[in-house]
């Protein structure tokens, strides 16, 4: 039972354009949603998060949008840079889930110069 799903294993965009990474979830008890970025042979690095009481959170080039009714969130990267090429993981947690994060499968983003 995959509670957090990232349906696109890969995404390729041109430098300077927008990258949109998508994530769907099924568990309505999730209250917090996070995005992580992972380079090969390194641990995941926290990017940005959003609480379920918000529908948008912005940090520099990164914006996360949350649509609770659709149980869908997306990460927008504008403008995309070659250094953004990495695997992006969506994760979710809840007030009652202790310190447990549930991760999606990941999306490999490639930004072409």
Partner 1 sequence: NAGVTQTPKFQVLKTGQSMTLQCAQDMNHEYMSWYRQDPGMGLRLIHYSVGAGITDQGEVPNGYNVSRSTTEDFPLRLLSAAPSQTSVYFCASSYSPTGLYGYTFGSGTRLTVV
Beta-bridged to residue 92, according to DSSP, are: 33, 102
Q: Which of 22, 61, 101, 108 forms a contact with partner 1 (CB under 8 A)? A: 101
Query: Binding marks (x or -) toward partner 1, 51..90, rule CB under 8 A?
Result: x-------------------------------------x-
Q: How many Å apart are CA 80 and CA 85, to the nearest integer?
A: 9
Beta-bridged to residue 75, according to DSSP, are: 21, 64
Choose one: 12-20, 44-52, 58-66, 67-75; the region binding partner 1 (CB under 8 A): 44-52
Q: How many Å apart are CA 49 and CA 69, to the nearest integer?
A: 18
Is residue 110 a contact residue for partner 1 (CB under 8 A)? no
Q: How many Å apart are CA 12 and CA 32, to the nearest integer?
A: 27
Q: Which of 60, 83, 98, 113 forms a contact with partner 1 (CB under 8 A)? A: 98
Least gap, CB of 109 to partner 1 (angstroms) = 15
Give the angle 104-110-113 at the CA atoms, nearest 5°. 160
Positions touching partner 1 (CB under 8 A) are 4, 6, 9, 31-32, 34, 36, 41-46, 49, 51, 89, 91, 93-95, 97-106
């Amino acid at each position: 039972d995959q509670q957090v799903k990232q349906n696109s294993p890969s995404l390729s965009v041109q430098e300077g354009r927008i990258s949109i990474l998508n994530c769907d979830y099924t568990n309505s008890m999730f209250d917090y949603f996070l995005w992580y970025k992972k380079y090969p042979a390194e641990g995941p690095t926290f990017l940005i998060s959003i609480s379920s009481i918000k529908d948008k959170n912005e940090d520099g080039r990164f914006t996360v949008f949350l649509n609770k009714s659709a149980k869908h969130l997306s990460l927008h990267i504008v403008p995309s840079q070659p250094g953004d090429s990495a695997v992006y993981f969506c994760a979710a947690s809840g007030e009652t889930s202790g310190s447990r994060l549930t991760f999606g499968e990941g999306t490999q983003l490639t930004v072409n110069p």
